[in-house]
Amino acid sequence: MIFPSDLKYSQDHSWVRVDEDRATVGITDFAQSWIGNLINIDIFEDGSVIEPLGLFGILETSKVSFELYSPIGGTVIKRNDKLLDQITLINQEPYEGGWMIVLRMRDIQDLANLMDANAYKKYIKNWGDLEGSDE
């Protein structure tokens, strides 16, 4: 599994890429591998206001739906509409083509509760899910 060092990670397995006052949000490689094959995504529209830990969409598999929560608050300035037709991008490229939304952040302090890549690896390894992984 891959965990890019330039991202921040949440305990609910989402990632954040910060660029000035903008933050791109998606789910981690760990999350997509655990969820498996996706069949649908519903993501909030541009202009939607998201609170920290607020719902921004729903992922569906053939058996279950997963709610998507943003680890930071802000206003959606762009959603990844490619996912509506190419949902497999989430499984194939969780950190590139599989991003979900871009937010204009309201409070940079929202990032304080997020982990760096090493801390996130330790976090999921403590679950016993990455025994022996050194990526």
CATH number at residue 96: 2.40.50.100
Count of structural domains, the chain? 1
Is 1 domain-assigned? no
pLDDT band at 62 (very low <50, low <70, confident <90, very high): confident
Kindly report the average pLDDT of the chain as a whole number.
Answer: 92
133, part of any domain:
no
Domain that holds residue 100: 8-107+115-125
Q: Which one has a higher pLDDT value, 132 or 64? A: 64
DSSP the chain: ----TTSEE-TTSEEEEEETTEEEEEE-HHHHHHH----EEEEPPTT-EE-TTEEEEEEE-SS-EEEEEESS-EEEEEE-THHHH-TTHHHH-TTTTT--EEEEES-GGGGGG-B-HHHHHHHHHTTTTTTT---
**Does 135 fall in a domain?**
no
